[in-house]
Structure 1
Amino acid sequence: MKETLPPVAQGFLAYIELEKRYSRHTVESYGLDLFQFFHYLSAHYGELPLTKLTHFHIQSWLALGLEPKYPSHSKKKQPEPVTPATIRRKISTLKSFFKYAVRKGELAQSPMAKVVSPKMRSRLPMFVDEKAMQQVEENHAEGEQLFADDFEGATQRLIVALLYQSGMRQAELLGLTHRSMDLSNSQMKVLGKGNKERIIPLSQPLIAMIREYDERRRKEAGNTESGQLLVRADGKGITKAFVYRTVRAALDRVTTISKRSPHILRHTFATHLMNNGADINAVKELLGHASLASTQVYTHNTIEKLKKVHQQAHPKA
């Protein structure tokens, strides 16, 4: 896909990957956006030089050309729904790209000045309530175990515990190694977005779970040369798909919320902290947010809880 893009676009993707150190997922998303954009331009305007691009061409693509045209080797199988969030992300991609092109002298100015992003309707992040998460942690729901007693069940249980008790991202979980753990100091090191490291504290029950798991891994798992902390029964490192299936299966048993992905456990971690009086700046550091604005969304859930308490308890509510 990258090879079909203009050289300046290829240079941009190399720049955000090697110099800006964006995640592989982000680089792939930017690359797909640019592939779709230049594919549309070629199909409708022929060999249009970059210097001839105007806001008209960009708005035309945003209005008419967002039907995904994936290259044959793309992993994406389903069309991406064209929502305001999708349009905003694609505009963000183009803004970054044209800013790079201007800096490299390919353009005198960016054509994005007159392109306006659609307004987003703010949505409160979904989360799992505390009683449901207690069932998951106790490995017991409706009279049945959630996780099996075998090694794979132990891996699945630790996956959910780490995501919920630390608020880490799925990619950060997959990057955990034995060197990430400093159990003697009750903490672990996580490599987040932009290769930024942060320290997350570990509770004593979670430390005990990690120690027990590590002992079982040495006895029961196969060759564990992957270096990952969490492995399958054959010793190979866990995958993104395995983590998703694990979380989905566990949450299916305890909640009816529509989204039951690993990221929901990150929302749940932050919401439960805020609802129990945690300082927002501390939550920001634990989540690895670059800006406090990203963390403030969780205060809305706290406010909604306060409103409910007020309505139920105050005589004048």
Structure 2
Amino acid sequence: MIVRLFNNFTIINLFVLNEPLYSLAERFISYIQLEKRYSAHTCTAYRNDLFQFFDYVTLQYSTTPVEDLSHIMIRSWLAKLMEDAMTAKSVNRKISTLKSFFKFCLRQGLIKQSPMVKVIAPKISRRLPGYIEEKGMQALEDNVSPVSVTSLHIFADDFEGITHRLIFEIFYQTGIRLSELISLQEFRVDHGNQSLKVMGKGGKERIIPVSPGLLVQMRDYMDQKRRHLEEFESGVLLVHPHSGQRLYPKYVYLTVRKYLTEHQITTLKKKSPHILRHTFATHLANNGADLNAIKELLGHSSLAATQVYTHNTIEQLKKVYQQAHPKA
């Protein structure tokens, strides 16, 4: 049924206005996936956030039209999440999801005003990112275990060990994300310009300079891959040492955690691939690298996300001062 409003020449499709929330959410997800080019991971997170919110309002308020969703309902849901011990960072992510969703609804003419204008995000306590000390990374670089008495080497000499070592080297020398590592392509390794092309968030490409040593390691790895595996996924740089298929996130996560734990490379409780990204950025900052340059290397969209590494630099300076100054 279509009603024509002659006072402002607007056509309102009543079916669209009464579209179920879950169906509307899927339209929104298609929009951010196809037009905004958000990653599959982000789209899944947004869908989960929206469905969780819709489940709540349907149960608590028995409402379905999007125009009936109010800031009171949203505040109530957020309060419930915080009562259930959800962190402020996670709550803020859900707020970001709702802001994007209602902005989409506003552009579609489904609502007159976003209820998010009356929703205030909780403050997040800024926590310094953990990182591995340089001596720990040096042990990995030298392939010499600082704790093992049975074996001097951290990484084995077989193809699996070579794969694991290259994973660490690429993470530490480039600072790329886990998703970027597993999607690296062989043709993106530029030996002539000594650089690596990385496809980041939102399909944005960036070029990262790499050392001659890392280029040699990658070239040797590609040769070893062709000698040791009868079949492997074509074009992908890093593959599973046994199946030949591209690496999957859990495999990389468990690999990084295994080496950092077994050889006591760091005392950090969290031993994930992202720690190596933090380590890359922090070591650059501690050694005087320009913050804007670090931002470009990490692929951050704003400088604010990179500034956290200056706090680590300050902590390093405090440590040096306390150890060296006679009046400290």
Q: Report the AA paired with residue 18 of structure 1.
A: L
Asked if 1:37 is matched to 2:53, the reply is yes
Q: Distance in 2 between matches of 1:146 and 1:115?
A: 51
- Partners of 1:18 and 1:287 in 2: CA distance: 25
The answer to whether the Cα contact below 8 Å between 2:187 and 2:235 also exists between their aligned partners in 1 is no
Deviation of the 1:300 alpha carbon: 0.4
Match status 1:268 vs 2:279? yes
CA deviation profile, 1:34-88 (whole Å, cap 9, x unmatched): 01000111111113321111111111111125799xxxxxxxxxxxx61111111
1:124 alignment partner, one of 108, 122, 128: 128
Q: Does structure 2 conserve the Cα–Cα contact (< 8 Å) formed by 1:181 and 1:187? A: yes
Contact 2:81/2:91 (<8 A) preserved: no
User: 1:107 aligns to what?
Assistant: 111
State, as a whole percentage, how many aligned pairs show the same letter: 54
Q: Residue 71 of structure 1 corresponds to which residue in structure 2?
A: none
* Structure-1 separation of matches of 2:162 and 2:83: 43
CA root-mean-square deviation: 1.6
**Is 1:247 the counterpart of 2:256 in the alignment?**
yes
Where 1:118 maps in the other structure, the secondary structure is: coil
Deviations 1:143-201, CA, capped at 9 Å, x for gaps: 43222221111111101110110000111101101111111221110000111100011
Following superposition, the deviation at residue 226 of structure 1 comes to 4.1
Whether the 8 Å CA contact 1:151–1:216 is kept in 2: the answer is yes
Structure 1 gap segments, 5+ residues each: 69-80
The residue that corresponds to 2:7 in the other structure is none
- For 2:133 and 2:326, locate their aligned partners in 1 and report how far apart those are by CA, in whole Å: 27
Structure 1 counterpart of 2:77: 61
Tell me how far apart the structure 1 counterparts of residues 83 and 252 of structure 2 sit (CA, whole Å): 30
Distance 1:140 1:239 in 2: 27
Structure 2 Cα separation of the partners of residues 43 and 222 of structure 1: 55
Normalising to structure 1: TM-score of the pair? 0.91
The corresponding residue for 2:11 is none
Moved over 4 A (4+): 65-68
1:294 to 305, 308, 314: 305
State whether residues 132 and 255 of structure 1, in contact with CA within 8 Å, keep that contact through their aligned partners in structure 2: yes
Partners of 2:267 and 2:123 lie apart in 1 by: 29
Contact 1:151 1:221 in 2 (8 A): no
Partner of 1:221 in structure 2?
229
Distance 1:270 1:42, change over 3 A: same
1:177, 1:227 within 8 Å by CA — same for their partners in 2? Answer: yes
- Bigger Cα displacement from structure 2, 142-151 vs 18-27: 142-151
Whole-angstrom distance in 2 between the partners of 1:58 and 1:50:
12
In structure 2, stretches of 5+ residues that fail to align are 1-19
Of 22, 25, 32, the residue aligned with 2:41 is: 25
Structure-2 change in CA distance of 1:109 and 1:56 (3 Å): same
User: Does structure 2 retain, via aligned residues, the 8 Å contact 1:40–1:61?
Assistant: yes
- Is the 1:40–1:65 Cα contact (8 Å) retained in structure 2? no
Secondary structure of 2:233's counterpart equals coil
User: 1:155 corresponds to which letter in structure 2?
Assistant: T
SS of residue matched to 1:116: coil
Q: Distance in 1 between matches of 2:182 and 2:281?
A: 20
Contact 1:226 1:237 in 2 (8 A): no
- In structure 2, what is the equivalent of residue 7 of structure 1? 23
Q: Secondary structure at the match of 1:113?
A: helix
Letter in 1 for 2:231: N
Report the Cα distance in structure 1 between the residues aligned to 2:235 and 2:324, rounded to whole angstroms.
Answer: 53
Q: Secondary structure at the match of 1:124?
A: coil
Superposed CA deviations along residues 81-102 of structure 1, whole A, max 9, x for unmatched, are 6111111111111111111111
**Any conservation in 2 of the 1:36–1:66 contact (CA below 8 Å)?**
no
CA contact (8 A) 1:84 1:119 kept: yes
Where does residue 74 of structure 1 map in the other structure? none
Does the alignment pair 1:86 with 2:90? yes
SS in 1 for 2:208: strand
Q: How many Å apart are 1:28 and its aligned residue?
A: 0.7
Using the alignment, how far apart are the partners of 2:201 and 2:104 within structure 1? 21
* Count, aligned residues: 302
2:21–2:64 Cα contact (<8 Å) kept = no
Instruction: Decide which of 315, 320, 325 is 1:314's aligned counterpart.
Output: 325
**Counterpart code for 2:130:** M
- Change in 2 beyond 3 A, CA 1:65/1:259: closer
The answer to whether residue 223 in structure 2 is matched with residue 195 in structure 1 is: no
218-227 or 129-138, which moves further after superposition?
Answer: 218-227
TM-score, with normalisation over the residues of structure 2?
Answer: 0.88
Task: Give the equivalent residue in structure 1 for 2:243.
Answer: 234
**What CA distance in whole angstroms lies between the structure 2 residues aligned with 1:44 and 1:87?**
19
